[in-house]
């Protein structure tokens, strides 16, 4: 299959490209060549230089491809995050529709839930634990909002044009540098209350993209979203201990959490995509 990878010079894309290149032909799309970016990605795949917020660039990028791994985005709240992330996704989906591309897999974020960057400073209103894709969103920042809107954009194109769209709600994506940092004395448990100590190994992110892109159409429902997480948290303490210490008001909801189990259930991704986290910072 010929797959377009957007945001191809980025950190997440590095691992996705390495995985997909084993069994697919790739076209890479970014404002700079992956080899020119900070991650010095070595690849001989065809490259399209362009900007997601320019419709003609998106049309050039999707020409001749069969599916899209949409990773390009600003990954934190900035003055330009909402414009770039939502407009870029809209133009890409329009180009995909015109080119009759059926499968799009989006790098969404667990932050679509609304817990990552709370503007009010109030604790996230947990309804139940662990979180799953049916848990309501309470977004307070423009990054989480952009990801939620992007999911709605994919859902709209799936409903209106019969496209097959998947949103991977990625937790904090960790490569070797992040794992080394976690194992160092500089790690502070209290600094990661808002994201509920969640992460996912980059190799498991790449696994999820591959599974989503290769999923049989008969198993698709048009659009769906999936939390993609490691099996455990970044903490040494049990998940129940974390709730008792930092979210005591939700102690009554934590009974289903075992050992250092993640707060973000990946069971739906397992049941539909076949995803199962293979890597942990503890390995």
Whole-number pLDDT of residue 245: 97
SS3 of the chain: helix, strand, coil, percent, to 5: 40, 15, 45
Place of tokens 């848990």: 135
Domain boundaries, the chain: 2-273
Top CATH class of 2-273 equals: alpha beta
105 by DSSP, 3-state: which?
Answer: strand
pLDDT at position 37 is 77
Query: What span, in angstroms and rounded, lies between the C-alpha atoms of 119 and 117?
Result: 6
- Predicted confidence at residue 157, as pLDDT, reads 98
Q: Which two tokens stand for residue 34?
A: 């992956």
Contact 240, 104 (CB under 8 A): no
Of 40, 113, 52, 112, give the one whose Cα is nearest residue 80. 52
Pinpoint the alpha helices (H) of the chain.
11-20, 55-62, 81-98, 142-161, 176-182, 202-214, 239-246, 267-273
Q: Are 99 and 63 in contact (CB under 8 A)?
A: yes
Main-chain phi, psi angles of 17, to 5 degrees: -60, -45
Residue-wise pLDDT tens for the chain (283 aa)?
A: 999 999 999 999 999 999 999 999 999 999 999 988 788 888 899 999 999 999 999 999 999 999 999 999 999 999 999 999 999 999 999 999 999 999 999 999 999 999 999 999 899 999 999 999 999 999 999 999 999 999 999 999 999 999 999 999 999 999 999 999 999 999 999 999 999 999 999 999 999 999 999 999 999 889 999 999 999 999 999 999 999 999 999 999 999 999 999 999 999 999 999 999 999 999 9
For the beta carbon of residue 114, count every other beta carbon within 10 angstroms: 21
Structure tokens at 21: 């290149």
């Amino acid at each position: 299959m010929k797959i377009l990878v957007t945001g191809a010079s980025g950190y997440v894309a590095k691992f996705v490209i390495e995985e997909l290149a084993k069994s697919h032909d790739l076209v890479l799309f970014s404002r700079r060549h992956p080899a020119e970016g900070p991650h010095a990605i070595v690849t001989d795949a065809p490259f399209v230089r362009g900007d997601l917020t320019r419709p003609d660039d998106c049309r050039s990028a999707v020409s001749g491809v069969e599916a899209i791994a949409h990773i390009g985005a600003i990954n934190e709240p900035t003055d330009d995050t909402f414009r770039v992330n939502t407009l870029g996704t809209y133009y890409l989906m329009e180009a995909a529709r015109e080119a009759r591309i059926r499968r799009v897999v989006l790098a969404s974020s667990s932050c679509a839930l609304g817990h990552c960057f709370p503007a009010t400073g109030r604790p996230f209103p947990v309804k139940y634990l662990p979180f799953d894709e049916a848990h309501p969103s309470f977004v307070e920042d423009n990054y989480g909002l952009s990801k939620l809107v992007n999911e709605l954009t994919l859902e709209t194109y799936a409903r209106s044009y019969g496209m097959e769209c998947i949103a991977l709600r990625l937790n904090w994506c960790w490569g070797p540098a992040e794992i080394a940092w976690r194992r160092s004395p500089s790690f502070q448990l209290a600094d990661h209350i808002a994201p509920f100590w969640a992460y996912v190994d980059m190799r498991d992110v790449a696994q999820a993209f591959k599974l989503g892109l290769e999923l049989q159409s008969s198993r698709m429902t048009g659009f769906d979203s999936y939390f993609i997480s490691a099996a455990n948290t970044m903490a040494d303490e049990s998940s129940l201990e974390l709730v008792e210490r930092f979210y005591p008001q939700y102690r009554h909801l934590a009974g289903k959490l075992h050992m250092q189990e993640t707060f973000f259930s990946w069971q739906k991704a397992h049941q539909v995509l076949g995803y199962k986290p293979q890597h942990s910072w503890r390995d």
